[in-house]
Amino acid sequence: MVMNHQNNRSYLMKYKLSALFLISGLFLNTCLFAAELPDSLDLVYRANISGINIGTLNRNLRAIGKGKYKVTSETNATGIAAILLRDTYREKSEFKVVADMIYPLSYHQAPDNRPDKARIATFDWDKKKVTLNNDRVYDISPGVQDPASFLFFWMLNPPRIGQTGKISLVDGKRMSQYEFKVIGHEKIESLWGKINTLRIERQKEG
């Protein structure tokens, strides 16, 4: 009974970490906006609840040639969260860039110790389909992203202050649509001091 309870708490902690890191991508460093992506970029996010650090996400972008890029990420729980969530979650995404539009090609996310829990998505832009390893298949159109690529999509296509819209994300388990609104500029603390960001909020559905 205790083990089941702990597993449930671990699931909730993982969900909170995933949600926080997804939202953290919505504080876009305005210095990263560019006409093209760099060949190499390293990003570090830290999730905090009530001033307590509960996790760290390291994300690396690398150009692999012919307009294609690879993103690798590693998520680790820290502090008390590490008691409930001991696994390291790794994420890999590959995408191509054509005329400032990012087209995801593949996505893979799994905990180190549970490869059977992997979430995998394979994008076929010729057929306009994405196939998941749980046998789900969705129709896709330009603009659909995965959790690792969408930040870079906005780096190439900065949203305007006051803009509202929707973005579809494929996380390897399902395709979900999120509504967003660009709130405005905001300074946040970073490892290098305060930086200017563009704050984008997820809107409640319905």
At residue 115, the 3 state secondary structure works out as: helix
Specify the higher pLDDT residue, 84 or 200.
Answer: 200
Neighbour-count burial for 9-43, b at 16+ CB within 10 Å, e otherwise: ebeebbebbbebbbebbbebeeebeeeebeeebeb
With 0.85 as the threshold, say if the pTM is over it. Answer: no
> What domain range includes position 105?
2-203
Reply yes or no on whether the pLDDT at 16 is more than 50: no
Q: How far apart are CA 151 and CA 117, in angstroms?
A: 24
Query: Residue 157: its pLDDT value, please?
Result: 84
How many Å apart are CA 44 and CA 29, to the nearest integer?
Answer: 12
Average pLDDT, the chain: 79
19: confidence class by pLDDT, cuts 50, 70, 90: very low
pLDDT digits (tens, 9 = 90+) for 145-192: 999 998 899 888 888 888 888 999 999 999 999 888 888 877 776 666
Taking 60 as the threshold, does the pLDDT of residue 203 lie above it? yes
Of 20-24, 25-29, 114-118, where does the model show the most confidence?
Answer: 114-118
Q: Which residue has the higher pLDDT, 56 or 99?
A: 99
If we measure between CA atoms, which residue out of 57, 65, 59 comes closest to residue 41? 59
pLDDT at 192: 60
pLDDT digits (tens, 9 = 90+) for 72-88: 999 887 765 555 666 78
Number of independent structural domains in the chain:
1
Who has greater pLDDT, 147 or 17?
147
88-117, pLDDT tens digit by residue? Answer: 889 999 999 999 899 999 999 998 888 899
Please state, in angstroms and rounded to a whole number, the distance separating the CA atoms of residues 5 and 104: 37
Q: How many helices (H) and strands (E) does the chain have?
A: 3, 12
Confidence (pLDDT) at 75: 85
